Amino acid sequence: MVQSTNRFFCAMLRTKSAYWRAADGMRLFDPESSTACYTCVLTQRPAGPDGLPADVHNCSPDRACFKADH
């Protein structure tokens, strides 16, 4: 698994690996995974409140629903 900081990912984004944390306390995302299934915690579905796909590549700060994970 590629352990990637979640600083750039939406705090509402969920995927199985992100329920685990790295040694620095950050949620574990693996943007290179081809088997990761994503959901938005606000909709509990793979789409955000804005109706666009919720995943590690699409949930970016330019979306109105993006919430920084600090």
Q: Applying CB under 8 A, which residues contact other proteins?
A: 11-12, 14, 16-17, 19-21, 23, 32-39, 41-47, 51-53, 55, 57
The DSSP code for 53 is B
Is 21 or 61 the residue whose CB approaches other proteins more closely?
A: 21
Say how far apart CA 34 and CA 30 lie, in whole Å. Answer: 9
Smallest gap from Cβ 60 to other proteins, in A, equals 13
Cβ contacts of 9 within 8 Å, gap of 6 or more: 27, 29, 56, 59, 69
Q: In the bound complex, what is the minimum distance in angstroms from residue 66's beta carbon to other proteins?
A: 15
Q: How far apart are CB 39 and other proteins at their closest, in Å?
A: 7
What is the distance in angstroms between the CA of the first residue and the CA of the last residue of the chain?
A: 22
